[in-house]
Amino acid sequence: MGGRKSGRVWAAAAVVLLAALTGVGLWRTAGGPPNLVAITSEPEGIMGTSCQLSAVVVLGQAGRAREALTAAEAELRRVEALMSTWIEGSEISRLNHAPPGEAVPLSRESRFVLGRARQLARETGGAFDVTCRPLVELWRRAGKRDELPSAEELAAALSLVGWREIRLEPGGAVKAAAGARVDLGGIAKGYGIDLAAEAMQAAAGLRGGLVDVGGDLRLFGQAPTPEGWVAAIRSPAGDAVWAEITLSGGAVCTSGHALRFETIEGRRYSHIIDPRSGRPASGTVSVTVVGPTALDADAWATALSVLGPEGLERLEGAPGIEALVISRGEGGLRADLSPGFPELRPGPGFPATILRH
Ligand code: AMP
Ligand code: MG
């Protein structure tokens, strides 16, 4: 992932545009705030995707910046070790494999994310539901064997989905059925980004910072360039920058079908499942969400991929969350924006129909 064009760098979906850099880099800002430099790192093997961390400091404070980057990286790895379903011994894997009725002890962090996920299931009318793991597995298996799931298989998986299957307790969680499982793939990355950004913010001497994991970002403070923090929204199909927005802080997360899908019987299916029907979300091409925290932006991007543009109404109950939903309409692609979404600078190829609600 990560392409390069006109000296700008971007990752999966949205990324803050910085002057050309590779690996751990240091540069002086040309015409920017005086004597500010950005020290960056690109740690590998984090959450199965690319990662770019950037700490903005006054020239001469590179040591402090490096300490902050190390702390941020450690937070990302810690959250992944707790919550990834790709890691056998993670807390969430242990919960998934536990027998029904057994209390599984969980860290404060896992309990916090599960608690927020349960609230978000309510706020999104069930469109975001981390208990949908049995469906995620069903559609992954269908992709591997290249055959659509049968009605019986679908009904069996659906019967295991829902918050009645998981009880959160003060020290952990208990499952009702052996086959009930959770999947934090739509929220844990955002949470890790938040903790990483907060670790950087707590470090002494930082003027600003950026955490970018696979194109989901959180940033704070001063940008290293005079334009401020400019996030590029990438076209779902290719590497083109579709639109740009300027931000002063907070998070930007994108869910798109272009990079992650299963092909079954010659058709592409999204990796995002509608937990209400049990079928992959369709109709939405990509969703970009801005908000104060990456946890909420990440989850809402997944939820709105299920809900489509009609789901924007639900943001009234979610202060600070704003979204851009690109969907397939009758006359081609269309872009729907919530009222407070930052001013959008569309580039070539961006949908001609732009509706601000
Ligand atoms: P994202 O790429 O952030 O939209 O997250 C997608 C991932 O979240 C998928 O790969 C699944 O692991 C999980 N997921 C899929 N559908 C849902 C859903 N409706 N609610 C919560 N998590 C989901
Ligand atoms: Mg998400």
Spatial distance between the Cα atoms of 191 and 194, rounded to a whole number of angstroms: 5
- Pick the ligand that lies closest to the CA of residue 121: 1
> Token digits for 118?
């349960």
Residue 201 near residue 220 (C-beta atoms within 8 A): yes
Look at ligand 1, atom 8, and give the residue with the nearest C-alpha: 186
> Ligand 1: distance of its center to the CA of 247 in Å?
26
Answer yes or no: are the C-beta atoms of 337 and 355 closer than 8 Å: yes
This model's pTM is above 0.85 = yes
Per-residue pLDDT of the chain (357 residues; tens, 9 = 90+): 233 222 222 333 344 544 333 223 334 445 555 689 999 999 999 999 999 999 999 999 999 999 999 999 999 999 999 999 999 999 999 999 999 999 999 999 999 999 999 999 999 999 999 999 999 999 999 999 999 999 999 999 999 999 999 999 999 999 999 999 999 999 999 999 999 999 999 999 999 999 999 999 999 999 988 889 999 998 877 668 899 999 999 999 999 856 678 889 889 899 999 999 999 999 899 999 999 999 999 999 999 999 999 999 999 999 999 999 999 988 889 999 999 999 999 998 899 999 999
Determine the distance separating the centroid of ligand 1 and the alpha carbon of 126, expressed in angstroms. 13
CA–centroid distance, residue 34 to ligand 1 (Å): 42
- Residue indicated by tokens 């690319």: 50
Q: Render 18-64 in DSSP notation, one character per residue.
A: -SS--SS-EEE-SSSSTTEEEEEE--SSBTTB-EEEEEEEETT-HHH
Which residues partner with 338 through β-bridges? none
Residue 135 near residue 158 (C-beta atoms within 8 A) = yes
Mutate-to-test residue for ligand 1 from 116, 132, 300, highest number of ligand atoms within 8 A of CB: 132
- Residue 197's pLDDT is 98
pLDDT of the residue at 240: 81
Determine which residue's CA is closest to atom 23 belonging to ligand 1: 186
pLDDT at 266: 86
* Gap from CA of 60 to ligand 2 centroid (Å): 37
Q: Cβ < 6 Å from ligand 1: which residues? A: 128-130, 132, 136, 183, 185-186, 255, 271-273, 275, 298, 301-302, 306
Minimal-distance CA residue to ligand 1 atom 5: 186
pLDDT at residue 28, rounded to an integer = 43
Which residues is 85 bridged to in the sheet? none
Pocket test for ligand 1, best of 85, 136, 272 (most atoms within 8 A of CB): 272
What ligand has the least distance to the C-alpha of 284? Answer: 1
Report the nearest atom of ligand 1 relative to the CA of 127: 19
At 7, is the secondary structure helix, strand, or coil?
coil
3-state secondary structure 60-105: CCHHHHHHHHHHHHHHHHHHHHHHCCCCCCCHHHHHHHCCCCCCEE
Q: What is the pLDDT of residue 257?
A: 57
Q: Which pLDDT score is estimated for 3? A: 30
Q: How far is the CA of 5 from the centre of ligand 1 (A)?
A: 30
Q: How far is the CA of 149 from the centre of ligand 2 (A)?
A: 24
Closest ligand 1 atom, CA of 216?
3
Measured CA distances, 30 to 199, 228, 315 (Å): 28, 13, 39
Beta carbons within 10 angstroms of residue 32's beta carbon: 19
**Distance from residue 134's CA to the centre of ligand 2 (Å):** 18
pLDDT of residue 136: 97
Mean of pLDDT over the chain: 89
Cα-Cα-Cα-Cα torsion 174, 177, 178, 183, nearest 10 degrees, comes to -70
Instruction: Report the distance separating Cα 315 and Cα 341, nearest Å.
Output: 11
Q: Are 342 and 233 in contact, with CB atoms under 8 Å apart?
A: no
Strands 284-291 and 322-329: antiparallel
